[in-house]
Amino acid sequence: MKLKTLFLTLILLSYFINAQNQDAELLKAKEFFENAGVPGDKWVEGETLYPNIRPAKHFHSSMLYYPGTEELHEDEVRVTFMGSSYSPSQTQSGMSILVELGNGEKFVFDLGIGSLRNYNSFSIPFNTINHVFLTHLHMDHVSDLPYLMMFRPIQGGWTPLHVYGPSGSEPQYGTAHMMKHMMEMTAWHQDSFHSWPIGEGYETKVHEFDFMDEGGVAYEANGVKITHWPTSHTKDGATSYRLDWNGRSICYTGDNRPNSLTIKKCQNVDMLISEVQTATVSLSAQSLGMPPAMAAYTIDTSHSPGYGLGYILNEANPTVGVATHYGYDDIFINETVAQVRYHYKGAFAFGAPDLVTFNIHGDGKVWWREGVAGNSIQVPKPHMTSETITFPAPKHQVYDVINDTVEKNEIPMELWYPKGHMPQRVKEWPITKDLTLPNPWAPSKKN
Ligand SMILES: [Zn+2]
Ligand SMILES: [Zn+2]
């Protein structure tokens, strides 16, 4: 009997010890998966990315950004390079940076040649672009502006567009002068489109500020503050900007020579975006077909070589330094990085080619991804959330501005439509007053 009890006790004890061992093993395994490979505050991982370069949990993909798949968090900022170069190519447009804030507001910095196709392909309705800030008046930074001004009302932009930019050394070199003449240049376009609802869409409001103001406020509303300072680039009137919102901060220098004011104004910002050129003038001259002397003259008077950008980034210490306005050619990329790295050891990225997208999220973490866009036409639906839409009355009918002789030369529809296919012709806007109709896209409507 005693022996049997002892035997039973031994069996129970061995089970117990075994279970304890298994628990310890499980704990060890759990601890392994929690901590192995995770630096925490025990060590530093890598040379440049630790600890602030991190994807957010809510990203649909951590490598690619698919527009329309991610709602910005309340404290988040998304920065997309809709243009990234001075010279348009298959993959790069003239400079343009879209800044989207978690409060739903959007700000555009520069609008260079070809960049609007990227706004379309990213489904950014033109009627959500209400504030455009210009760093300077070179055409690789402003030449899509007349198109935006003219087509924005067609996508429901019936309120004035606001354009901000520097004055010049004389009035004819300022933003206001350029905008006045862009409006004049587009007189034919405007009057032709005044047969459609335009409202105040062509009453562009220009906010020209003194280019010499060091830290002047270009914009301030709803907790967003955009300040500016002068910088050296080919002629008086070039400007750099800083946007502040909700503890987030982004500097964009535009084109310039390395500038001590940028170091002062952009200390510890989340993103410091600047132009960069590769300081390999004689070599790049061979590939670009530009005499080395002319390339050297252009860079040394007007632009920032990699070494200069590295110097600025090292002194300003942003979470990430971003180089743009850059012909993203494979052969020069590593050289440019090496030049930047001569002075700067922090996180570094290219704001190129087009559509590279940065998110500033959480407590100041930054991550960047390739943006994905299709090739098909994707004119986005206008952004309209109210229950009704009020169509502004057109100024005139189409055939008010086409003379009778030209109109009579039009071939009658009956001659080209197949029998039974001819729709009722819509030749006139039906009302001379504003017209309010239910909004088929109102969030309350389910379809
Ligand atoms: Zn430029
Ligand atoms: Zn320029």
Task: Kindly identify the ligand whose nearest atom is closest to the C-alpha of 112.
Answer: 1
Cα dihedral sign, 13-17-18-20: positive
60 alpha carbon to ligand 2 midpoint, in Å? 36
Looking at the CA of 298, which ligand is closest?
2
Give the sign of the dihedral formed by CA 254, CA 259, CA 261, CA 262.
positive
Centre of ligand 2 to C-alpha 122, Å, is: 26
Secondary structure in 3-state letters for 167-231: CCCCHHHCHHHHHHHHHHHCHHHHHHHCCCCCCCCCCCEEEEECCCCCCEEEEEECCEEEEEEEC
> In this structure, what token pair is assigned to residue 234?
């080919």
Q: How far is the CA of 277 from the centre of ligand 2 (A)?
A: 12
Residue 140 alpha carbon to ligand 1 centre in Å: 5
Of the ligands numbered here, which is closest to the C-alpha atom of 141?
1
Compute the distance between CA of residue 13 and CA of residue 200 in angstroms, rounded to an integer. Answer: 86
How does pLDDT run along the chain (447 residues), one tens digit per residue?
577 777 777 777 777 778 778 899 999 999 999 999 999 889 999 999 999 999 999 999 999 999 999 999 999 999 999 999 999 999 999 999 999 999 999 999 999 999 999 999 999 999 999 999 999 999 999 999 999 999 999 999 999 999 999 999 999 999 999 999 999 999 999 999 999 999 999 999 999 999 999 999 999 999 999 999 999 999 999 999 999 999 999 999 999 999 999 999 999 999 999 999 998 989 877 777 788 999 999 999 999 999 999 999 999 999 999 999 999 998 899 999 999 999 999 999 999 999 999 999 999 999 999 999 988 767 788 899 999 999 999 999 999 999 999 999 999 999 999 999 999 999 999 999 999 999 988 888 765
Compute the distance from residue 254 Cα to the ligand 1 centre, in Å. 7
Rounded Cα gap, residues 358 and 369, in angstroms: 7
> How far, in Å, from the CA of 53 to the mean position of ligand 1?
28
C-alpha 205 to ligand 1 mean position (Å): 24
Looking at residue 15, its pLDDT comes to: 75
Query: Which ligand is located closest to the Cα atom of residue 238?
Result: 2
Is beta strand 320-324 parallel, antiparallel or unpaired with respect to 216-221? unpaired
Q: Give 374-394 as a 3 state SS string.
A: CCCCCCCCCCCCCCEEEECCC
pLDDT of residue 287: 75
Domains of the chain: 64-371 (3.60.15.10), 388-438 (no CATH)
Residue 8 has what pLDDT?
Answer: 76
User: What local confidence, expressed as pLDDT, does residue 447 receive?
Assistant: 57
The pair phi, psi for residue 189, each rounded to 5°, is -60, -45
325 CA to centre of ligand 2 in angstroms:
9
Whole-structure pTM value: 0.93
In the structure encoding, which two tokens stand for residue 184, read together?
């004049």
Model pLDDT, residue 446: 67
- 325 CA from centroid of ligand 1 (Å): 6
Tokens 């050619």 identify what position? 329
Closest among 95, 116, 143 to 353, alpha carbons compared: 95
Residues ≥6 apart with Cβ < 8 Å to 338: 306
3-state secondary structure of 82: strand
Ligand minimally distant from the alpha carbon of residue 96: 1
208 pairs with which residues across the strands?
Answer: 165
Distance from the CA of 297 to the center of ligand 1, in angstroms? 15
